[in-house]
């Protein structure tokens, strides 16, 4: 059995309070998992070695025969691979133990990755930021989902993200998303894919083939087209209403003034399951500039739920630039791309 993981050890202050983290990648028959060992006051180097030993322990418990590890500590990688000698006396016992235990596996490798390319570490950093924002607002972090936006990123990036434990993905374009979903369907059949970009009525049929949620429903004509297609298949799909809060000509979305009319029309269609609201507010240099728009979207959701007499549990808002503000204002899902994957490639 193969065991793949990213290891991460860090100390604040070097020396300072530290922890050893291991992010075990998902495999076909095993979900991703995260391991953490608090270390107290120590150095970065010790924390890195402790993370390595923690990973080896888990691989042994799973009876793995092939171990593939990744670390952003170039020094540790080259020491374990025999390129540099371990000179620090306090590290020698840790290094010796790691090397001896690594030899017990049929195959062992450890490679260096830049931190910005470490999917598991970046996922963990975003989740920690979500948790801190939720705590500031007195919310349970478990009530906020992380949707990974993979627009223009290749299939291999999505594959790496899935191995790192991401399970919820969003695409802006129907055809691009369909190609990725098709390419990964046999390997990762349990991933959830949501359409978060504008949907043209002539692309509705293809969208329904591949996406489990349409977050960008913004007009009655589109709702009618989706209903017709779904009725023919006798199935339902979850939808969110998208609003253009800044009345920007370059963005899709219904105007807030039309919220109740659109929501009522969607509720009248039995094959559309209205779950909540979504918006992309005007971009501002200061993330705080998005707060009034996030607050407005939450108020729209609350007003619709009250007037329609039914819960609308989802509020999809916030991206890499401002998702912490969105969480503070009630987001149940944040759509993050750059903070997870770096800048997008040109479309």
Domain C-terminal end among 66, 86, 113? 113
| pLDDT score at 100 | 96
Residue 302 has pLDDT above 50, yes or no: yes
Residue 347 within any structural domain of the chain? no
| pLDDT score at 29 | 76
Q: Do 334 and 195 fall within a single domain?
A: yes
Residue 87 within any structural domain of the chain? yes
DSSP helix, strand, coil percent of the chain (3-state; round to 5): 45, 25, 35
Domain C-terminal end among 113, 131, 157? 113
| pLDDT score at 70 | 93
Q: Do 179 and 210 fall within a single domain?
A: yes
For residues 100 and 39, the answer to whether their CB atoms sit within 8 Å is: no
144's tokens: 């906020």
Q: Is 290 exposed, middle or buried (0-12, 13-18, 19+ CB in 10 A)?
A: buried
> Taking the model in full, what pTM does it have?
0.82
Residue 13 has pLDDT above 50, yes or no: no
Lateral strand order in the sheet of 33-42: 33-42, 16-24, 2-11, 66-71, 107-112
Return d(Cα 69, Cα 83) in angstroms, integer. Answer: 17
Domain C-terminal end among 60, 85, 113? 113
pLDDT band at residue 89, thresholds of 50, 70 and 90? very high
Q: Do 173 and 286 fall within a single domain?
A: yes
pLDDT band at residue 119, thresholds of 50, 70 and 90? confident
Return d(Cα 47, Cα 42) in angstroms, integer. Answer: 7
CATH number of the CATH domain containing 82: 3.30.420.10
Q: Do 135 and 248 fall within a single domain?
A: yes
CATH number of the CATH domain containing 286: 3.20.20.10
Q: Do 88 and 124 fall within a single domain?
A: no
Residue 344 has pLDDT above 80, yes or no: no
316's tokens: 């999809």
Q: Do 128 and 79 fall within a single domain?
A: no
Out of 155-169, 202-216, 294-308, pick the least confident.
155-169
86's tokens: 């371990």
Q: Do 293 and 156 fall within a single domain?
A: yes
Highest mean pLDDT among 29-33, 116-120, 257-261: 257-261
Tens digits of per-residue pLDDT, 176-203? 999 999 999 999 999 999 999 999 999 9
Residue 346 has pLDDT above 70, yes or no: no
Q: Is 61 exposed, middle or buried (0-12, 13-18, 19+ CB in 10 A)?
A: exposed
Q: Do 97 and 186 fall within a single domain?
A: no
Q: What mean pLDDT, rounded, does the chain reach? A: 93
Residue 108 within any structural domain of the chain? yes
Out of 83-92, 170-179, 219-228, 328-337, pick the least confident.
83-92
Residue 115 has pLDDT above 90, yes or no: no
Q: Do 52 and 162 fall within a single domain?
A: no
- Boundaries of domain holding 331: 119-341
Residue 14 has pLDDT above 50, yes or no: no
| pLDDT score at 17 | 56
Residue 286 within any structural domain of the chain? yes
Q: Do 159 and 80 fall within a single domain?
A: no
For residues 264 and 229, the answer to whether their CB atoms sit within 8 Å is: no
Q: Is 82 exposed, middle or buried (0-12, 13-18, 19+ CB in 10 A)?
A: exposed
Tens digits of per-residue pLDDT, 122-179? 888 899 899 999 999 999 999 999 999 999 999 999 998 998 889 999 999 999 999 9
Domains identified in the chain, total number? 2
Residue 231 within any structural domain of the chain? yes
Q: Do 215 and 128 fall within a single domain?
A: yes
Query: Quick one: what percent of the chain has pLDDT higher than 90?
Result: 80
Q: Is 310 exposed, middle or buried (0-12, 13-18, 19+ CB in 10 A)?
A: exposed
Residue 346 within any structural domain of the chain? no
For residues 284 and 290, the answer to whether their CB atoms sit within 8 Å is: yes
Residue 135 within any structural domain of the chain? yes
Q: Do 168 and 29 fall within a single domain?
A: no
| pLDDT score at 345 | 59
């Amino acid at each position: 059995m193969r065991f793949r993981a990213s290891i991460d050890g860090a100390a604040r202050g070097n020396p300072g309070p530290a922890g050893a983290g291991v992010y075990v990648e998902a495999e076909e028959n095993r979900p991703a998992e995260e391991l953490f060992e608090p270390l107290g006051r120590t150095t970065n180097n010790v924390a890195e070695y402790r993370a390595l030993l923690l990973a080896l322990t888990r691989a042994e418990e799973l009876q793995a025969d092939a171990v593939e590890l990744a670390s952003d500590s170039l020094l540790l990688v080259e020491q374990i691979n025999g390129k540099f000698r371990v000179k620090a006396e306090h590290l020698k016992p840790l290094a010796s133990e790691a090397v001896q235990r690594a030899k017990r596996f049929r195959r062992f490798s450890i490679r260096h990755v830049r931190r910005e390319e470490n999917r598991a570490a970046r996922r963990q950093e975003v989740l920690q930021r979500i948790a801190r924002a939720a705590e500031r607002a007195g919310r349970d972090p478990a009530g906020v989902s992380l949707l990974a936006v993979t627009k223009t990123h290749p299939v291999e990036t999505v594959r790496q993200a899935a191995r790192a434990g991401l399970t919820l993905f969003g695409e802006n374009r129907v055809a691009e998303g369909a190609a990725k979903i098709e390419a990964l369907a046999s390997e990762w059949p349990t991933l959830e894919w949501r359409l978060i970009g504008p949907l043209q009525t002539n692309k509705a049929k293809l969208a329904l083939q591949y996406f489990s949620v349409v977050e960008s429903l913004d007009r009655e004509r589109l709702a009618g087209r989706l209903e017709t297609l779904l009725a023919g298949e006798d199935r339902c799909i979850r939808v969110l209403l998208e609003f253009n809060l800044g009345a920007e000509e370059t963005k899709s979305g219904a105007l807030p003034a039309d919220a109740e009319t659109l929501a009522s029309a969607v509720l009248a269609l039995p094959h559309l399951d209205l779950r909540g609201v979504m918006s992309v507010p005007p971009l501002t240099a200061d993330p705080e500039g998005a707060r009034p728009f996030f607050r407005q979207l939450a108020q729209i959701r609350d007003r619709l739920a009250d007037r329609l007499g039914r819960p609308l549990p989802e509020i999809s808002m916030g991206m890499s630039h401002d998702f912490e503000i969105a969480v503070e204002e009630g987001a149940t899902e944040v759509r993050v791309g750059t903070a997870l994957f770096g800048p997008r490639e040109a479309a």
